[in-house]
Every structure is written in C-alpha cells, then in structure tokens.
Amino acid sequence: MRARRTALAAAVALAAAVGTPLLTAPAASAAPAKLSDDFNGDGYRDFVMLGGSHGKDGRVTVVYGTSAGPGTRVQTLHQDSPGIPGAVEEGDWWGAAATTADLDRDGYADLVVSSPGENVGTIQSRGGLTVVWGSANGLGSGTVFNSPVPQEYENQGDFFGEDVVSGDFDGDGDPDLAVTSNSQVGVVLLKGPFTRAGGKSGWDSLGGGYGYLHAPNLVAGRVTADAATDLYMLGSDLQDGDINMRAYFHRGGSTFTQRAGEVLVPDDGGHQGGDILAIGDFDKDGYGDLAIGRGYETGDGERGYVTVQYGGSGGPNAARKPVKFTQNTTGVPGSSENEDYFGSAIAAGDVNGDGYADLAVGARGEDLGTKRNAGSVTVLLGRAGGLSGTGAKSYSQDTSGITSSPETDDQFGAYLKLTDYTRDGRADLMIDTNEQLGYEDRWGLVHQLKGSTSGITTTGSKSYSVTSLNLSYARLGGPFAR
C-alpha cells in the first residue's frame, strides 16, 4: 500500500515536472479521505452519537451531514446490525468510545467503536474495537481488532478500549489508534494502515510510570508544530506522598512511546461524563494549548473552573503559568456557585473563523431559577495573548432560539463537541442534554448551534433526538485530530 502510494506520488511529481495537467495522472489508488469523519465521501462531516454504553443495548447513531449540518439520514449501528461482527450482549459496552479516521486509505472515513466489556473466548472483559468501514453509501461492514496485549490473568481481560483516539502518532503518514488497556501496558498504539481483513502494521505500548489511567480522557491533537499527532492522557500517580492527577504528554513522531512532558491537573476531585481535556491553539502561535476542565474540584464546593496550559515547540510550555477561568472571571456571564460543575465537559474549535481556537465549557449543574441542574454552556473566545473572558457568551434552554425548555436535571452541556459540520470554516457547537421522558426512560436531545463570524449563534439552531432507553448520555464521538 505504501509502496503503491509512493509510486503514484512519483508519477504525479513527474507529470507536474513535465507540465502535464495533474488530471491525467493515473487514478491507480484512491486518495485518503479529506475529512476524517466523512463516511460517505460527499464532503460533509457526519455526526456520531454514542447512545449509551453500559446496558445491553449499546449502540451508535450516525447522522449524515449536509450543507446545513447533520441531516435526515440516520443510521443506527449495534452488534446485531447486518455486517457488524459479534452479538449484542449484556455488559459489552459497545460504543463506550469511538473515533474516526480513514484507516484503510480508500477515500472514505471509517468509524472505530470500542467495546471494553466484550468477552473473547473464556476471557472476561477482554474488550476490543470494531472498525466500521466507510463507502459511497456510508458505513457498512465491520472488522474486529482485538487487544494485542499479552494476557496477565487467566480469565480476566484488560478492558481494551475504554477510550480510543486516532491520529498519525508515529508520523509515517498513516492514521494510527491509541487505545486504553487496563493492564501494565496502559495505552496501546495500533499502527496503520489497517485492512478490512484485520491487518495492521504492528503495535507498541506507552506503558511504564503511570499510576491509574482515567478513561475516557485521551485527547489527540496538534501541540508541537510538526505534522505528527500529539497525545495527552489523563492519569493519577503518587509523587512525594501525594496522589496527583496529571495530563501526560506524548509527542508524535519516532519517539512517541516515550513520555515527553506532563501537566499537573489541580484539585483531584475525579470526574465523570464528558471530556475534560481539549487541545486548541487559543493564541494562534502555532502550538496547541491544553485546556483542562475541573468541574468536580473538591476544594471550592464543586463550582468548577477551567485552566489552560499553553504549548511550545516541545510540548507543554512550563515557562508560561497556567491561566484559570471561572464564571467569576471578568467578561464571563453568570456567577460561580456551588455544584455548577463549570468545566465538567469542554470542547475546543474555532467558532468565528478568526484562526484562534475557542473553548466551549459545560456547566451541567447550573440552576435556572427553580430548575436545578438545568445546565448551561459558555463559549470563551481565543485572541492574541490567549483565551479570554472578553466577549464570552452563555447558552441554555432559556436562550432565545434554542428549542425545548429547561427542566430540573436536563444537564444541558453534559457533553460537547465543536466541529465544522456546515463546511463554512467555523465550528458548530453540539450540546447534549439529559432530557427525560417518564421516570426512567431517557432520550438524548442534542442541540446544534452554528458558528458565525460573530461566534456561536442560535439562529437556525436545530436539535436531534436519540432513543436510548435506560442508557447513559449520548456521548458525542470524537474525530481524528492532527
């Protein structure tokens, strides 16, 4: 595969050198997908919802994209779907995590779904990944990739796949997967390219020196200025008699498996639910910065806050002091109150197209009048010098233009995603809620707010429901990052 691509590249270079139009270059093999989450190759990103993960009916819902964002074509996938290997079983957690990348380089993005509770033979909770392959018709058949980690205990597996992210971590041009393993190995690097027959280029481990790794909090993105994808992973370790939470940094490239830095995550109050690490270049200096959501800090009544550790040429730049944001920061709407959980979910993306990454911050515990835990989302804008409270805006189901109305425990903002679905160069904000029907039945209601030159707007907002009886939230699957 690599040899063939190299040959094609040489042919294209030769054609260009002699002045032949590029269109006459042989179409011997398809180019890799331009977008990591465009499963049907129509130029629009497709939206993935993980409709709960801890029940028997773990499933993934895909909404195919249009120029207005996710449209009306909806596909629900589970292990009893045609072409998907395995069977729906209690405790598989199929859909606990997901990521996307064109793993076989055929021009169509592929969907990676993890099932960390899957039994393999007599081994309980061995876990695994299902890659569902893209095509002109969208997602079709799947291939299972099992844990390559040697078995540590006779019948107990390593819960392979509590989190999975994609990126070109080793810098060879092919997308790879970083996957958590509840073993001494810690995190596994599966190297691409991958084949539909189950082939891969090999694997490696990022183990050693970690205490407890927290899933789901692997985050991939561009931190240093080179082309390889970098990785932060959240873990806890014992140093100087204290247990501290840290974001460990691995720099993409030939030394990827070695730790290249770390960022202290203050006030270890644990976490639950949404992603609390996000990479974005908030000051547009070419280096990705790490935002850390501390919604569950214990020292201050779980009011919550966000810190930003700026990046530099080699990774996190320790020379720049982390900057902290709360709802009491100048310019940020609202005020910091007990159990707001501001920062319990975060997402980075450029909402206004000015080249500075911006940060969406969920406060799932925000009360609206008498509606407890109705939830709100605040968008902080990046600008010269970095992320700022200036111009920050907040959104809730009370905001004009947003459908539905706030109720107790809606938890608007429990999960967030900032991705440009409308292809206008500005990230759109996807907000998950915990709407309830009846006492136990839940359905996820996801709101889409579009990005615009003036930031996130409620004009033209839409919402999508996902049926997920007795399941946890519709966690929003993450894309390939670089």
| By the rule CB under 5 A, 356 interacts with Ca ion | yes
Rounded to whole angstroms, the Cα distance separating 360 from 351 reads 9
SS3 397: coil
Which amino acid, one-letter code, is at 271?
H
Rounded to whole angstroms, the Cα distance separating 233 from 217 reads 6
Rounded to whole angstroms, the Cα distance separating 93 from 77 reads 13
Tokens describing residue 125: 């909770």
Count Cβ atoms within 10 A of the Cβ of residue 183 and give its class: 0-12 exposed, 13-18 middle, 19 or more buried: buried
Whole-angstrom distance between the N-terminal and C-terminal Cα of the chain? Answer: 22
- Per-residue string for binding with Ca ion, 248-287, x by CB under 5 A? ---------------------------------x-x-x-x
Query: Min. distance of Cβ 353 from Ca ion in angstroms?
Result: 7
Cα–chain-centroid distance for residue 85? 24
Interface segment toward Ca ion; rule CB under 5 A; list 30-38, 223-231, 246-254, 322-330: 30-38
Side-chain half-sphere CA neighbours of 132 within 13 A: 33
Query: Min. distance of Cβ 282 from Ca ion in angstroms?
Result: 6
| By the rule CB under 5 A, 366 interacts with Ca ion | no
Rounded to whole angstroms, the Cα distance separating 252 from 175 reads 12
Query: Min. distance of Cβ 304 from Ca ion in angstroms?
Result: 23
Provide the 8-state DSSP code for 322.
P
Query: Min. distance of Cβ 25 from Ca ion in angstroms?
Result: 21
Contacts with Ca ion in 283-312 (CB under 5 A)? 283, 285, 287, 289
| By the rule CB under 5 A, 40 interacts with Ca ion | yes
Residue count, binding to Ca ion (CB under 5 A): 22
Nearer to Ca ion, 182 or 307 (CB): 307
Query: Min. distance of Cβ 143 from Ca ion in angstroms?
Result: 11
Using only C-alpha atoms, the chain has a radius of gyration, in whole angstroms, of: 22
Interface segment toward Ca ion; rule CB under 5 A; list 106-114, 299-307, 366-374, 436-444: 106-114
| By the rule CB under 5 A, 354 interacts with Ca ion | yes
Upstream peptide bond of 216 is cis (omega within 30 degrees of 0): yes
Query: Min. distance of Cβ 77 from Ca ion in angstroms?
Result: 15
CA angle (380 as vertex; 376, 386 as ends), nearest 5 = 160
Rounded to whole angstroms, the Cα distance separating 51 from 467 reads 7
Can you tell me which of 47, 70, 98, 106 binds Ca ion, judged by CB under 5 A?
Answer: 106
- Per-residue string for binding with Ca ion, 209-248, x by CB under 5 A? ----------------------------------------
Can you tell me which of 51, 58, 65, 127 binds Ca ion, judged by CB under 5 A?
Answer: 65
Count Cβ atoms within 10 A of the Cβ of residue 299 and give its class: 0-12 exposed, 13-18 middle, 19 or more buried: exposed
Interface segment toward Ca ion; rule CB under 5 A; list 38-46, 88-96, 156-164, 425-433: 38-46
Nearer to Ca ion, 102 or 428 (CB): 102
Can you tell me which of 57, 92, 102, 340 binds Ca ion, judged by CB under 5 A?
Answer: 102
- Per-residue string for binding with Ca ion, 70-99, x by CB under 5 A? ------------------------------
SS3 448: strand
Contacts with Ca ion in 134-193 (CB under 5 A)? 134
| By the rule CB under 5 A, 104 interacts with Ca ion | yes
Query: Min. distance of Cβ 381 from Ca ion in angstroms?
Result: 6
| Complete edge-to-edge strand list for the sheet that includes strand 164-167 | 164-167, 176-180, 187-191, 202-205
Sign of the C-alpha dihedral computed for residues 23, 26, 30 and 33 taken in this order? negative
| By the rule CB under 5 A, 44 interacts with Ca ion | yes
Contacting residues for 388 by C-beta, under 8 A, at least 6 apart? 331, 380, 381, 382
Residue 16 φ/ψ, nearest 5 degrees: -65, -40
Nearer to Ca ion, 175 or 304 (CB): 175
Interface segment toward Ca ion; rule CB under 5 A; list 133-141, 166-174, 328-336, 359-367: 133-141
Interface segment toward Ca ion; rule CB under 5 A; list 37-45, 165-173, 444-452, 458-466: 37-45
Query: Min. distance of Cβ 298 from Ca ion in angstroms?
Result: 30
The residue behind tokens 């197209």 is 353
Got the DSSP string for 52-63?
-SSSTT--EEEE
Query: Min. distance of Cβ 289 from Ca ion in angstroms?
Result: 4
Kindly list the residues in this chain that would bind Ca ion in the complex (CB under 5 A). 38, 40, 42, 44, 46, 65, 102, 104, 106, 108, 110, 134, 281, 283, 285, 287, 289, 350, 352, 354, 356, 358
